[in-house]
Homo-oligomer: A and B are copies of this chain.
Amino acid sequence: MDEFSFIQSIQQSYYRQPTLLKGVGDDAAIIRPSGDDIVIAKDMLVEHVHFIKSTMKPYHIGYKALAANLSDIAAMGAIPAYYLVAISISNDWSNEELAEIYNGMKSLADRYKVDLIGGDTVSGTELVISITVIGYANRNISRLRSAAKEGDVVFVTGTLGDSQAGLHILQNAGTYKEEEYFKRRHQLPSPRVEFSLGLQQIDRVALNDISDGIASEAHELAESSKVGMVLIEDKIPVHPAYAQFDSNLQYNWKLFGGEDFELLGTVSRSDWELVKQRAQQLSLRLTEIGYVTDEKDAGKVFLQQENGKIIQLEKKGYNHLSR
């Protein structure tokens, strides 16, 4: 298939976003913004680094690539609207597999009515996908990492460590409880878009999505907001079947594992009830896991262990650039 035929094959037959003037098919896409702020996130996924064929089907690769970007948009309190996809593919990927990658993205895009408006397709020696997602955010809604304040409740959606548990199951044959659940959490993660949009009534919420593990993301909040943060270990939410794994793995996955794409946030105690209500309306698990301390601990994150001892957490996690 040549580039032209391929672009035609992935082109949407109609667009859903009312602010789009021109999608695929010119030198650039054109949008006429509605008056809201625009948020833009971009990332890149590389075969063998971020995914391997043995644990991720092409459909999963596309789905998860877009999910990771939608998760960034959710972490800004924004509603996703558009995406662009640049992809470099090697010859050991068939046209069918390539189409399945786009199908994986499409299924998630359909759910959120997000339109594919551009990109590029080239060939290389390994599969590389870069997605750009564009969303709209109401003005004056601050979901910045720098918005945390002393005394805030620290909360997290869902359960942590699931994605790494799923990867472990995919790579280690055996009998596991809730095997399908964990695999699904690794292969088809859910960006918390609805939850984030549900918080629009609240003026100030600091949000960060958990792509690199909660320890790393909590540090980003603490550094940007110039506050300290205490996480309480036995409050960190895990799935009931999580206990089946080795306790060291459990510890590492939930704190440093990454790719759960849950939201970590902080909010004032007075707004906490409202945040809980929103999660309840969505039947989304939401857990208070700690609190924000003052600027004398700026940039530091502590873990209150089950024995009551408080240790300082390292800022480690997924680091895709190790040179």
Contacts and interface: CB of A to CB of B under 8 A. Distances in A.
B86 A122 contact: no
A114 to B, nearest CB: 14
A130 B319 contact: no
Interface in A298-323: 319-323
A125 interface: yes
B124 A49 contact: yes
A73 B118 CA distance: 13
A21 B6 CA distance: 37
Q: Chain A: interface secondary structure?
A: strand
Contacts of A30: 37-39, 76, 137
Interface string A90-120: 0100010000000000000000000001111
A269 to B, nearest CB: 24
A76 B26 contact: yes
Nearest to A6: B321
Q: How large is the interface on A (under 10, 10 to 19, 20 to 34, 35 or more residues)?
A: 35 or more
Contact of A124 (B21, B29, B126, B132): B126
A78 B23 CA distance: 16
A44 to B, nearest CB: 4
B44 A39 contact: no
Interface string A279-306: 0000000000000000000000000000
A27 B86 CA distance: 20
A75 to B, nearest CB: 4
Nearest to A42: B84
A205 interface: no
A139 B132 CA distance: 24
Interface string A35-64: 001111111111111100000000000000
A122 B44 contact: yes
A311 B247 CA distance: 74
Interface in A227-254: none
A321 B121 contact: yes
Contact of A76 (B27, B32, B319, B322): B27
A40 B134 contact: yes
Nearest to A95: B323
B2 A322 contact: yes
Contacts of A207: 27
Given A26-B146, A38-B38, A89-B321, 13 more contacts: A31-B37, A31-B38, A33-B38, A42-B85, A42-B118, A44-B128, A46-B122, A46-B123, A49-B122, A86-B130, A123-B321, A124-B128, A132-B132
Interface of A: 1-4, 6, 21-22, 25-33, 37-50, 72-73, 75-76, 78, 82, 84-89, 91, 95, 117-126, 128, 130, 132-135, 137, 139, 144-146, 207-209, 224, 319-323
